[in-house]
Amino acid sequence: MGEGRLSLLPRAKMIEILYNIISDYTLRNVILGSAIVGIIAGSLGCFAVLRRQSLLGDAISHAALPGIALAFLLTLSKSPLILLLGAAAAGFIGTLLVLLFTHTTKTKEDAALGIILSVFFGFGIFLLTIIQKLPTSNKAGLETFLFGNASTLLQSDVRLMSLFALMIFIVLLFFWKNFKIIVFDYSFAKSIGLPVKTINIILTALLVFAIAIGLQTVGVVLMSAMVIAPAVAARQWTNSLSVMVLLAALFGAFSGISGALISSLVQKMPTGPTIVLVISAIVLFSLALAPNRGILWDMYRKKKNRKKIRLDNTLLNLFRLSKSHNDPYHAHDLKSLMAIDPTGVREAAIELEQNGLVKRAGSRWGLTKQGIEKARSLAQGGVF
Amino acid sequence: MAKKRMAVNVEDLTVAYNEKPVLWDIDMAVPKGILLAVVGPNGAGKSTLIKTILGLIKPAAGTVEIFGASYKQQQHLVGYVPQRGSVDWDFPTNALDVVMMGLYGKLGWLRRPGKEEKKLAMEALEKVGMSHFAHRQISQLSGGQQQRVFLARALVQDAMVYFMDEPFVGVDATTEKAIITLLQDLRKRGKTVIVVHHDLETLKSYYDWAMLLNVRRIALGPVKKVITPKNLEQTYGGRAPFLAAKSQND
């Protein structure tokens, strides 16, 4: 009885917290907004990462800052639509300039990205400083675009974000196979007559908008983490593009929501860094533990391989030694084997004995009939 | 000569990177139904030639025709096998999916591959001996198997002219044999197959035509006529391509 009551309390508390989250206007917006950001940035990020354009996301988000500031300066309005369009336009111009740079000069892409990123960002900070000195009353709040602040999300913001997210999602579904082929094999796609340039522009446009709708929540400085990290983590768990995109969306949503919740519960905690910490944990976990691609899995596979090689070598060495005696069953002291390679001979011999390939007689070890067959096939197959 | 019968007709083709010619004034008339090897040393422009014909590289000058019309009009008649190293094989997809990409051109912008496409792709994988690997992630295939997947993707294109960029590089002997049998089979069915090739020793047994290339066209014709010591000397002789080209008219 007493125990039941004890376990009921936290549950009631949890329900209360959940109820608060759902009914609380700010929290609801925070959760919805950051989930949308995570889903859209995560899924579009897969394409960016697979095309080795991860840094483009960083350049786009930094380039968006002067766009936001200019949009405000020109309209003196903080309407989310205007700021978002300003961010997207600047992001586009930044991307175009990167292309222009690499095509007309001999600048390499990474250098071009670095230049655009820092020049635009610097210009953005410059504009923000000017805005601070303006005599208008509604100038406050633009600096949240630096590191993001999910708790400033209004219902109107979330509505606009959902609208854009929905459009991005529909285009993504419609163009799925086209995006897939230009990311995998651009030349082939072009050779079969697909309008690769248009598809490319649409894909880049989606990325720009995916980033633009996340800037208020995550901030321009760390938005690229929302693009890159979920995709990197998701790639670890699957070999299918569609599953990868779904997983990235899921990881993005999870880190978005938890990061935003933590930051809005702790005072003056910017959202961007909190989200980045959460998604980083997911990435680390995935890099270490994912089956097939994870580091631990890799270590296990290498160890298993090494053991197999040792077993095969021990068997082969016994086989070779017996040849000089004209008797395949001729047994040897393990010392004779250790003269060839001393590591792990005894352990290998014991395991071979358990497998019935080797038989021990006193201190001497010889092949069994099975062992001879296996050794012969190994020697012929030349697996190692 | 009736030009219309030519599967591929290239005239005065010049391609330059930064004003340095990579291909110079190439004429290339390939009749229908032959198996043609394009050979030449590294940097001779073999891949560039194929990519330019396929419209992937813009030429500085010259024209390209496939069955008497521009590539754009005839791309449905063309199949392409790019160099295996040109894509990232760690891309998250399987062999069947890659083969189905060969049908994307016919599907157009919006239609998604369905049952029919899957069936065609499976048949193509069967032809290259890869049906057991249809659902294998492509990074887990060997070099030879990856090449077969690329070949199967070209097969589903059901083309009249095939361009293949070094399909024998880094493949095992079994795959090489399987590929050449397939290419010869395509030719028997009246297709034209143009292959960038590296190995001069297999030239005579594999192909019926050859094109010797080193920035300029050294020779083009039936293998027996074209593969002469003089032509090989001109193509590979270690002399400057300009000098080699000059003595070509003797």
Work out the pLDDT band at A200, boundaries 50, 70, 90. very high
| Angstrom distance (rounded) from CA A189 to CA A194 | 6
pLDDT digits (tens, 9 = 90+) for A158-190: 999 999 999 999 999 999 999 999 999 999 999
pLDDT digits (tens, 9 = 90+) for B77-127: 999 999 999 999 999 999 999 999 999 988 887 888 999 999 999 999 999
Contact B109, B140 (CB under 8 A): no
Work out the pLDDT band at A65, boundaries 50, 70, 90. very high
| Angstrom distance (rounded) from CA A202 to CA A211 | 14
Interface test with A, best of B47, B97, B161 (most A CBs within 10 A): B97
Structure tokens at A190: 């072009």
**B26: pLDDT strictly greater than 70:** yes
Work out the pLDDT band at A91, boundaries 50, 70, 90. very high
Work out the pLDDT band at A272, boundaries 50, 70, 90. confident
| Angstrom distance (rounded) from CA A9 to CA B185 | 76
What structural domains does chain A harbor?
9-293 (1.10.3470.10), 297-380 (1.10.10.10)
DSSP B89-106: TTSS-BHHHHHHGGGHHH
What is the distance of C-alpha A84 from the center of its chain? 25
Provide, for chain B, the percentages of residues in helix, strand and coil under a 3-state DSSP scheme, each rounded to the nearest 5.
45, 25, 30
Give the rounded percent of residues in chain B with a pLDDT score beyond 70. 93
Provide, for chain A, the percentages of residues in helix, strand and coil under a 3-state DSSP scheme, each rounded to the nearest 5.
75, 5, 20
- The arithmetic mean of pLDDT across residues A131-149, rounded, is 82
- Bridge partners for A361 per DSSP: A364
Q: What is the pLDDT of residue B211?
A: 96
pTM of the complete model: 0.85
Contact B102, B153 (CB under 8 A): yes
Work out the pLDDT band at A383, boundaries 50, 70, 90. very low
Q: Are the Cβ atoms of B88 and A50 closer than 8 angstroms?
A: yes
Q: What is the pLDDT of residue B246?
A: 41
Q: Which residues contact B46 (CB under 8 A, 6 or more apart)?
A: B38, B39, B40, B165, B196, B213
What are the Cα distances from residue A132, in Å, to A128, A137, B78? 6, 10, 61
Supply the Cα-derived Rg of chain A in whole angstroms: 30
| Angstrom distance (rounded) from CA A274 to CA A263 | 7
Q: Are the Cβ atoms of B54 and A174 closer than 8 angstroms?
A: no
**B68: pLDDT strictly greater than 50:** yes
Name chain B contacts of A245, Cβ cutoff 8 Å: none
Work out the pLDDT band at B238, boundaries 50, 70, 90. low
Is residue A332 classed as helix, strand or coil in its secondary structure?
strand
**B157: pLDDT strictly greater than 60:** yes
Name chain A contacts of B137, Cβ cutoff 8 Å: 239
Contact A141, A152 (CB under 8 A): yes
Q: Are the Cβ atoms of A50 and B75 closer than 8 angstroms?
A: no
Q: What is the pLDDT of residue B4?
A: 56
Work out the pLDDT band at A107, boundaries 50, 70, 90. confident
* B135 and chain A in contact, CB less than 8 A: no
CB neighbour burial string for B210-239, b if at least 16 within 10 angstroms, e if fewer? bbbbbbbbbbbeebeebbeeebbebbbbee
Q: Which residues contact B114 (CB under 8 A, 6 or more apart)?
A: none
- The arithmetic mean of pLDDT across residues A28-45, rounded, is 93
Q: Greatest CA span in chain B, whole angstroms?
A: 59
- The arithmetic mean of pLDDT across residues A76-85, rounded, is 90
- The arithmetic mean of pLDDT across residues A358-369, rounded, is 86
* B69 and chain A in contact, CB less than 8 A: no
- Chain A residues with a Cβ under 8 Å from any Cβ in chain B: 50, 52, 174-178, 180-181, 183-185, 187-195, 235, 238-241, 243-244
Pairing of strands B20-31, B78-81: unpaired
pLDDT digits (tens, 9 = 90+) for A332-348: 888 888 888 777 888 88
Q: What is the pLDDT of residue A334?
A: 83
Q: What is the pLDDT of residue B249?
A: 41
DSSP B190-233: T-EEEEE---GGGHHHH-SEEEEEESEEEEEEEHHHH--HHHHH
**A229: pLDDT strictly greater than 80:** yes
**A1: pLDDT strictly greater than 50:** no
pLDDT digits (tens, 9 = 90+) for B4-19: 579 999 999 999 987 7
- The amino acid present at B145, given as its one-letter code, is Q
Q: Is the dihedral of CA B84, B86, B90, B94 positive or negative?
A: negative
**A5: pLDDT strictly greater than 60:** no
Work out the pLDDT band at A54, boundaries 50, 70, 90. confident
Q: What is the pLDDT of residue A2?
A: 43
Structure tokens at A279: 């998604």
Name chain B contacts of A187, Cβ cutoff 8 Å: 51, 54, 56, 80, 82, 86
Q: What is the pLDDT of residue B1?
A: 47
**A212: pLDDT strictly greater than 60:** yes
Where are the strands (E) in A273-357, listed by range? 332-333
Q: What is the pLDDT of residue A384?
A: 38
B63 φ, ψ (degrees, to nearest 5): -130, 155
Q: What is the pLDDT of residue B159?
A: 95
Q: How many helices (H) and strands (E) does chain A have?
A: 17, 3
| Angstrom distance (rounded) from CA A285 to CA A280 | 8
Q: Are the Cβ atoms of B107 and A184 closer than 8 angstroms?
A: no
> Which of A50, A178, A188 lies at the smallest CB-CB distance from B109?
A178
| Angstrom distance (rounded) from CA B43 to CA B123 | 37
Q: In angstroms, what separates the C-alpha of B237 from chain A's closest C-alpha?
A: 33
A91 CB neighbour count, 10 Å cutoff: 30
The per-residue pLDDT of chain B, averaged, comes to 90
Contact A212, A88 (CB under 8 A): yes
pLDDT digits (tens, 9 = 90+) for A285-294: 999 999 888 8
What is the distance of C-alpha A146 from the center of its chain? 23
CB neighbour burial string for B85-112, b if at least 16 within 10 angstroms, e if fewer? eebebebbbbbbbbbbbbbbbebeeeee
| Angstrom distance (rounded) from CA B56 to CA B42 | 20
Q: Any idea which residue has 């219902």 for tokens?
A: A155
Q: Are the Cβ atoms of A184 and B54 closer than 8 angstroms?
A: no
Is residue A149 classed as helix, strand or coil in its secondary structure?
coil
Name chain A contacts of B101, Cβ cutoff 8 Å: 180-181, 184-185, 188-189
Q: Are the Cβ atoms of B56 and A183 closer than 8 angstroms?
A: no
| Angstrom distance (rounded) from CA B40 to CA B234 | 10
Pairing of strands B161-165, B78-81: parallel
Low-confidence winner among A239-248, A339-348, A365-374 (lowest mean pLDDT) = A339-348
The per-residue pLDDT of chain A, averaged, comes to 88
| Angstrom distance (rounded) from CA A345 to CA A311 | 8
Q: What is the pLDDT of residue B74?
A: 93
